């Protein structure tokens, strides 16, 4: 068996594909750790850190699997076609869900809406009891929990009502009337 026969062997391509996949898995874990540390330094909640690192891990492993498959079948077109198909399917299938998650990231990063804020939306109002990655929970005056998708908070007008200063009355004090002039 010559060197040329070994170089063109399907088994060699399969082994190379396996090596590429393993490298992507190792890189995915390393990059996910770096992203998690960066998110923790920004002071984000732990559930945001976990979701962020998992998204990075899964994305890199899927890309690695597509590259490995392309190497195993000797075609770059398979890798490109797989990536394009994954993006198209994801964008159509999970469009609203992705909007909610992306909006949630921005809401959590910008911190414009915080727990305890009294907010009003087109559909109602309430006090923010929890801000999650996909939804925000409000408690209305009746005590009911209203679940608001984060994309609604991000794309529609939201009024954040001012909080009264600690120690001040919620009703403004009346100024004394000036004494009548004689």
Read off the pLDDT of residues 152-178 as tens digits, 9 standing for 90 and up: 888 888 888 887 666 655 555 555 555
Query: Residue 173: phi, psi to the nearest 5?
Result: -70, 145
Q: pLDDT value at position 3?
A: 46
Note the CATH architecture for domain 113-161. Answer: Roll (2.30)
| Tokens representing residue 178 in the block | 């000036």
Residues of the chain with CATH 1.10.287: 3-93
DSSP helix/strand/coil, 135: strand
DSSP helix/strand/coil, 78: helix
Q: pLDDT category, 26, cuts 50, 70, 90?
A: very high
Look at phi and psi of residue 118 and say left if phi exceeds 0, alpha if psi is from -120 to 50, else beta: beta
DSSP helix/strand/coil, 136: strand
Choose between 52 and 79: higher pLDDT.
Answer: 52
Query: Residue 37: phi, psi to the nearest 5?
Result: -65, -40
Contact by Cβ (8 Å): 97, 134:
yes
- CATH number for region 3-93: 1.10.287
- Whose structure tokens read 């068996």? 1
Look at phi and psi of residue 50 and say left if phi exceeds 0, alpha if psi is from -120 to 50, else beta: alpha
Mean pLDDT of the chain: 78
> What is the rounded CA–CA span in Å between residue 48 and residue 109?
10
Choose between 91 and 43: higher pLDDT.
Answer: 43
Residues of the chain with CATH 2.30.30.60: 113-161
% of the chain residues with pLDDT over 90: 7
> What is the rounded CA–CA span in Å between residue 4 and residue 96?
52
Q: pLDDT value at position 101?
A: 80
Read off the pLDDT of residues 121-136 as tens digits, 9 standing for 90 and up: 887 788 888 888 788 8
- Whose structure tokens read 């925000």? 136
Choose between 31 and 89: higher pLDDT.
Answer: 31
Which residues fall within 8 angstroms of residue 102, CB to CB, at 6 or more apart? 151
């Amino acid at each position: 068996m010559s060197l040329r026969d070994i170089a063109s062997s399907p088994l060699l391509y399969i082994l190379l594909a396996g090596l590429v996949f393993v490298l992507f898995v190792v890189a995915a874990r390393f990059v996910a750790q770096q992203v998690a540390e960066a998110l923790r330094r920004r002071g984000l909640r732990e559930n945001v850190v976990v979701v962020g690192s998992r998204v990075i891990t899964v994305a890199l492993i899927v890309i690695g699997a597509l590259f490995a498959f392309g190497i195993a079948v000797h075609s770059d077109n398979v890798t490109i076609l797989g990536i394009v198909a994954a993006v198209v399917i994801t964008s159509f299938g999970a469009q609203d869900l992705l909007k909610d998650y992306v909006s949630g990231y921005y809401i959590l990063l910008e911190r414009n809406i915080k727990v305890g804020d009294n907010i009003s939306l087109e559909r109602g109002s309430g006090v923010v009891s929890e801000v999650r990655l996909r939804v925000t929970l409000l408690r209305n005056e009746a005590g009911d929990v209203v679940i608001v998708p984060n994309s609604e908070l991000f794309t529609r007008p939201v009024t954040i009502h001012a909080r009264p200063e600690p120690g001040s009355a919620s009703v403004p004090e009346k100024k004394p009337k000036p004494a009548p002039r004689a």
